[in-house]
Amino acid sequence: MRIIAGQFRGRKLFTTHDRSVRPTTDRAKQSIFDMLSHRLNLEGIEVLDLFAGSGSLGLEALSRGAQHVVFVDKAKSAIQVLEKNIASLGCGRRSTVYPADVFWFLKNTRRRFDLIFVDPPYRLEEIGSLPAAIYRSPVVGDGSVVVMEHSKESEIELSPAMYDVLQKPFGQTTVLILRAKSKS
Q: Average model confidence (pLDDT) for the chain?
A: 91
Sheet holding 46-50, edge to edge: 95-99, 68-73, 46-50, 113-118, 140-151, 173-180, 163-170
pLDDT at 110: 95
Q: Per-residue pLDDT averaged across 40-51, rounded?
A: 96
Judge residue 179's burial from the number of C-beta atoms within 10 Å of its C-beta, 0-12 exposed, 13-18 middle, 19 or more buried: middle
pLDDT at 184: 72
Q: Per-residue pLDDT averaged across 9-21, rounded?
A: 79
pLDDT at 147: 96
Give the rounded distance of the alpha carbon of 12 from its chain centre: 19
Q: Per-residue pLDDT averaged across 77-102, rounded?
A: 96
Residue from 65, 90, 91, 85 nearest 73 by CA = 85
Rg of the chain over Cα atoms, rounded to whole angstroms, equals 15
pLDDT bucket at 1, cuts 50 / 70 / 90: confident
Domains and CATH numbers, the chain: 26-180 (3.40.50.150)
Q: Does residue 169 surpass a pLDDT of 90?
A: no
Q: Does residue 16 surpass a pLDDT of 90?
A: no
